[in-house]
Amino acid sequence: MLASINPIALKLFGLEIHWYAIFIVSGVLLGVWLSSREAVRVGLKGDDVTDFILWGLPISIIGARIYYVLFQWSYYKNHLSEIFAIWNGGLAIYGGLIAGFLTLLVFCYHRFIPVWKFLDVVAPSVILAQAIGRWGNFVNQEAFGSPVNKNFLSHTLHLPTFIVENMKIDGVYHQPTFLYESVWNLIGFILLVTLRRKNRFFKEGNIFLTYIAWYSFGRFFIEGLRTDSLMLFGGLRVSQGLSAILFIVAVVLIIFRTRDKRVIFYQRKELL
């Protein structure tokens, strides 16, 4: 029987490099590369994406951690030294998205960049980075679902052995909800990059809003399978509540902005 995966990928000059960090950084770097190319296609500068990420990434990480700690304060108030231990996991995606969105608004204002256009540029890259980042949760054995038997994982889902065995937590196999969300996000990425080529049908900003609707819809149901959700009073799952709100807002805005003749269609050209 295989042992669970070591969360530490390697040690370099005495420094422990965690798989969690490798997956997050890999997703960000790939996202920056894709967004930079797309920025040029829509008449922006590729450097705009790089400059934004220098501010947006650290602020998003801080926001993701603050969000997580706030909803787990009953634990962290007695373990203050662990608040900064992000290498052990505990980054809430919604917290990072909110912090990153606010940072983007400020960045676009100071750079005189159209907000909706820039959001369209980065949205597919963000959901791809999320798909990759979920594998960091897998290595850390977090973001898992309810108990299941091994047969469900290996024969019903036909998962490879390394996934099956790493979903055995404290002697019990669990639903691989990290995988469900990773696959959902990957499909969303393919959907977004396909749709944004349809210049005649999409107006500026609707690619981003489609991302919000797609991600929040899937997250709502996947969150319901998890056993480690952040909770509010009355057993309400924080991410489910926020997902429902974001989905409704995104759909309403898509309908409204599609009918609004003042909103221009998405413009994009192919790179030579």
pLDDT per residue as tens digits for the range 250-265: 999 998 887 766 665 5
Largest CA distance in the chain: 62
pLDDT tens track for 65-124: 888 888 787 778 787 888 887 766 677 888 999 999 999 999 999 999 999 999 999 999
> Rounded to an integer, what distance in angstroms lies between the CA atom of residue 225 and that of residue 131?
18
Give the pLDDT confidence score for residue 156 in this predicted structure: 94
Torsion of Cα atoms, 240 then 243 then 247 then 249, to 10°: 110
CB distance 127 to 189 below 8 Å: yes
Rounded mean pLDDT of the chain?
A: 87
Helix (H, G, I), strand (E, B) or coil at 12: strand
Is a pLDDT exceeding 70 seen at residue 239? yes
Amino acid 91: pLDDT? 78
Query: In this predicted structure, what is the pLDDT of residue 201?
Result: 60
Least confident of 77-81, 152-156, 181-185, 253-257: 77-81
Q: Long-range contacts of range 216-223, CB-CB < 8 Å, 24 or more positions apart?
A: 216/242, 216/243, 216/244, 216/246, 216/247, 216/250, 217/243, 217/247, 218/181, 218/184, 218/185, 218/188, 219/181, 219/243, 220/244, 220/247, 222/177, 222/180, 222/181, 222/184
Place of tokens 């909770």: 231
Domain boundaries, the chain: 16-259
Helix (H, G, I), strand (E, B) or coil at 84: coil
pLDDT of residue 246: 95
Residue bearing the bigger pLDDT, 117 or 7: 117
